[in-house]
Amino acid sequence: MFPFSNFTGQAIYPNIYLPESIYENLKTEKPKLQYIAVLKHEQTHIKRANKQGWIIWNLKYIFYPGFRFNEEIEAIKNSMVFFKKNNITFNTDKSAKRLSSYLYLWCVSYKKAKEKLDEIWNST
């Protein structure tokens, strides 16, 4: 369980922490597609941390906003692909607001996040 947010997960190698509501839904026979996308997002972080070495990855994620932004973009790309395959609209505005907030330690401005997310969504 992740205590800081009711709508996001947290990847801390090698584990993924999810809000109870998402976790319980994922255990059902027909989980919500949005929750599967959250899990795919966090799995991307775990895979990338494993590849780079989880200690180095975590240190970079914590201390380098540009690295944090790029890692979130990579994870979001995987969610976007899943959304497109399932004909679900991805809310780039909402995602840009989150990326530019405390939740991601203000790693990017809203404007830059929105531009990048729109670019990725339109090219996916």
pTM summary value: 0.90
Which long-range contacts (C-beta less than 8 Å, at least 24 apart) are formed by 84-92? 84/124, 86/33, 88/33, 88/34, 88/37, 90/117, 90/121, 92/117, 92/118, 92/121
Q: Are 38 and 9 in contact (CB under 8 A)?
A: yes
The list of the chain residues with pLDDT below 50 reads: 1-3
Per-domain residue ranges of the chain: 10-123
pLDDT digits (tens, 9 = 90+) for 31-47: 999 999 999 999 999 99
Nearest Cα residue to 69 out of 103, 34, 118, 119: 103
Q: Structure tokens of 37?
A: 């996308």
Name the one residue in this structure whose structure tokens are 């009711």.
6
Distance, in Å, from the CA atom of 22 to the CA atom of 96, rounded to the nearest integer, reads 21
